[in-house]
Amino acid sequence: MKFIDDAAHGFASQLDGQWLGSYHDGAFFSFEYSKNLTGGIGGLAIFPPGMTGMTTPQQDWPELSCADEWRLLATLKAHLLSARWPLLGRITMAINRRLGLIYRSADAEVSQGMPHPVRAMPLLSTVLVRRQLAHLPATLAHKQALAQRYQQALAALPSITQWAVPAGAACHWVRYPFALSCPQANKAAVARRLSQASGLNIGVWFDDVIHPAGSFRHAYVAGSAPQGERLAATVLNLPMNIALADNAALAHKLDRLLAELRRIEKENIQ
Ligand SMILES: *Cc1c(COP(=O)(O)O)cnc(C)c1O
């Protein structure tokens, strides 16, 4: 039996000094829109030598259709806009959706586990990934600075859970997670409230034990992963992106976030 790691957003991160994705026989990393290294969609896989079914030479892989290349470009653009201007990003995404210009996995892939056909990586994705790889050290340093800033700010509220990363450990953040002290019936509403108060884009990842929420759940029986369920109901996250400057404006936003978090934690106790 072979064991392949899901290291989807573990690229350039270590745990106890070992690179994520190097623990078992192989690993895959995702270049999907939301990941720390992104080409829009697609990914990178490391397979154990001699694994059957993976011997197709890459030159023979079909290219993305022209229509899908345009969809990919339009979807990427909307995600890029969202990183800086969430409202503009949402509007662009809504327009794309109406025009049928969203490039994403088919519904059957999520609900029925239909395999995705193999495709050559689109040129657009290749250019994007290579550019990010060239800037990787600077990106990691910037994210490290943001993480430190977040960690110090949230430390003022001891009821909030954080996950410390040892100094000097390689960590390629996707988002910066923190957890409230009590499970939230409507975590999305809490995230919206915090975003409005702070001006920071507060996320809800992950909001279900099985992701994406509302997908097939793959025979998951409620209650069988109590810690996972509790985390899904309490964890929120802060943005980790290179467009976000580590400056006085961010410090002000974090002050506002803390004030609102303090209110929420107090309401939860009552
Ligand atoms: C994003 C993600 C995936 C799926 O990656 P795709 O490239 O979208 O197929 C799998 N596992 C984890 C943990 C992920 O975050």
> Who wins on pLDDT, 57 or 41?
41
Pocket test for ligand 1, best of 11, 13, 30 (most atoms within 8 A of CB): 30
- To the nearest whole percent, how much of the chain has pLDDT over 90? 64
Asked if residue 27 lies in contact with residue 5, where contact means CB atoms within 8 angstroms, the answer is yes
Other C-beta atoms within 10 Å of 225: how many? Answer: 14
> Is residue 159, in this structure, part of any structural domain at all?
yes
Distance 30 CA to ligand 1 centre (A): 6
Enumerate residues lining ligand 1, CB below 6 A: 6, 8-9, 30, 32, 43
**Which two structure tokens, joined as six digits, stand for 76?**
């990427």
Amino acid identity at 258: L
Q: Is residue 193 pLDDT above 90, yes or no?
A: yes
> Is residue 70, in this structure, part of any structural domain at all?
yes
Q: Indicate if 149 and 254 belong to the same structural domain.
A: yes
Least confident span in 48-52, 63-67, 180-184: 48-52
- CATH number for the domain spanning 242: value is 3.90.1150.10
Beta-strand ranges (E) seen in the chain are 4-6, 14-15, 18-19, 26-30, 43-46, 161-162, 175-179, 235-239
Q: Domains in the chain: how many in total?
A: 2
Q: Indicate if 194 and 143 belong to the same structural domain.
A: yes
Domain assignment of residue 222, given as a range? 136-269
Q: How confident is residue 141, by pLDDT bands cut at 50, 70 and 90? A: very high
Q: Is residue 263 pLDDT above 80, yes or no?
A: yes
Q: Indicate if 71 and 174 belong to the same structural domain.
A: no
Least confident span in 119-133, 209-223, 238-252: 209-223
Q: Indicate if 181 and 89 belong to the same structural domain.
A: no
Q: How confident is residue 219, by pLDDT bands cut at 50, 70 and 90? A: confident
Q: How confident is residue 108, by pLDDT bands cut at 50, 70 and 90? A: confident
> Is residue 57, in this structure, part of any structural domain at all?
no
Q: Indicate if 215 and 250 belong to the same structural domain.
A: yes
Q: Indicate if 178 and 205 belong to the same structural domain.
A: yes
Q: Indicate if 147 and 196 belong to the same structural domain.
A: yes
